[in-house]
Amino acid sequence: MDALSVLVVVSVIIVLVFDYTNGFHDASNVIATPIASRALTPIQAVVIVATFELLGPLLGGTAVANTIG
């Protein structure tokens, strides 16, 4: 493999790791609010957030990214 291919692979891995860790921060912020206000139990909050974190990009597409861009 040439240097450019290695650079592309390393860059993609770094981006995927960042996305994965960024998801932890987003999910924890979303989950903490209903739990702290006692609106939901922790299990309910995790199930609801996991469901909509998965469905958001699938159903919403890239509308937010296009708006920001």
* Residue 69 predicted with pLDDT over 90: no
The model's pTM is 0.57
Number of structural domains (the chain) is 1
Distances (CA, A) of 9 to 3, 6, 17, 38, 50: 10, 5, 12, 44, 29
Question: Which residue range is the domain that position 47 belongs to?
Answer: 3-68
- pLDDT score for 21: 83
**What tens digit of pLDDT does each residue of 12-68 get?**
999 889 888 877 777 788 889 899 999 999 999 999 988 988 888 788 777 777 787
Shortest CA distance to 28 belongs to which of 40, 11, 46, 41? 46
- pLDDT score for 59: 84
